[in-house]
Amino acid sequence: MPWISLTIEVDAVHAEILSDALLELGALSVDIHDAAAGTEWEQPLFGEPGEPSEKIWSAAEITALFDADVDANSIMQIAAQAANLIGLPIYRLAEIPNQDWVRLSQAQFTPIQISSRLWIVPSWHQAPDPAAISLILDPGLAFGTGSHPTTQLCLAWLDENLSGGEDVLDYGCGSGILAIAALKLGAGHAVGIDIDPQAVAASRDNALRNQLDQMKAEFHTPDFTPQATMGTAAWADVVIANILANPLIVLAPLLMSMSRKGGYIVLSGILKDQAEEVACTYRQWIEMHIAGEQEGWVLLTGTRK
């Protein structure tokens, strides 16, 4: 069955009210995006927990998906009234044919080479290099497909620095990609922690796909205390966290408490202009430095004294 895509030009003041009205009028999905996306006027927004930021683009577009038999003009009139708009905003319609959405979604994810010996391979692809280490992942609801620069920075660091046998903490594990990579690169034990139960479930599924020993690959929500099984609070040889700058600042005491003396701290999800603030927060325990940079994102690392 085909659908109708309704795209509306709107200002920041009315975007969220209008999108809510469209959902109440039967929209199957609603997306708000930058009207200038893909042009030199595109406006990046980086919102983080605990940090005030611009909530919406100054010139936005709303795209709503409806069943094909709806009266789009009537929907626009009711939605405009709900948003207290004078007259109808500019909008356009397009028919979306029925497609194999699963196949189309899978087509977005192809194998990614991190190094000469490390690849990320979606579960429906064959490994490009049978002799290499392949991380078999099923990209789902959890963050960590390997396509984002911050994930690639972390993977490259693990590839270059693990010597074998390490205890690794992956805080904010998402899909489990970093903990899984650490184990396949020789770490002895890895614990992944995430606030999202769906991420924990996805990580466990991905560990099974990679045929990892469940005793070596553990994934939990933050109420789990690794020291209960590790026998000490400061147990990790490597603490790696690919989150965002503000959470990394807030979590600093917790992450440092689980780091062994001489252990590595590896932090990403940090924009270059945020690096000094994050490094300053950790300076009471450890001297951090930029160990990698990609597309405006940086990797901070240091060794626990």
Whole-angstrom CA distances from 114 to 132, 135, 175, 239, 250 are 11, 10, 17, 20, 30
CA distance 302 to 305: 9
Q: What pLDDT score does 229 carry?
A: 56
Contacts of 220 (CB under 8 A, 6+ apart): 191, 192, 193, 200
Set out the domains of the chain in order of their start, with CATH numbers: 3-98 (3.30.70.120), 147-303 (3.40.50.150)
Pairing relationship of beta strands 259-271 and 167-171 according to DSSP bridges: unpaired
Query: Measuring CA to CA, which residue among 1, 4, 21 is closest to residue 66?
Result: 4
Q: What is the chain's Cα-based Rg?
A: 23
Give a three-class secondary structure readout of the chain. CCEEEEEEEEEHHHHHHHHHHHHHCCCCEEEEEECCCCCCCCCCCCCECCECCCCCCCEEEEEEEEECCCCHHHHHHHHHHHCCCCCCCCEEEEEECCCCHHHHHHHCCCCEECCCCEEEEECCCCCCCCCCEEEEECCCCCCCCCCCHHHHHHHHHHHHHCCCCCEEEEECCCCCHHHHHHHHCCCCEEEEECCCHHHHHHHHHHHHHCCCCCCCEEEECCCCCCHHHHCCCCCEEEEEEECCHHHHHHCHHHHHHCEEEEEEEEEEEEEHHHHHHHHHHHCCCCCCEEEEEECCEEEEEEECC
pLDDT in tens, 80-89: 998 888 888 8
Regions of the chain with pLDDT less than 70: 1, 38, 40, 42-56, 98-108, 139-143, 225-232
Question: Is pTM beyond 0.85 here?
Answer: no
Whole-angstrom CA distances from 144 to 102, 140, 167, 223, 299 are 19, 9, 21, 22, 16
Q: What pLDDT score does 259 carry?
A: 95
Within a 10 A sphere around the Cβ of 270, how many other Cβ atoms?
Answer: 26
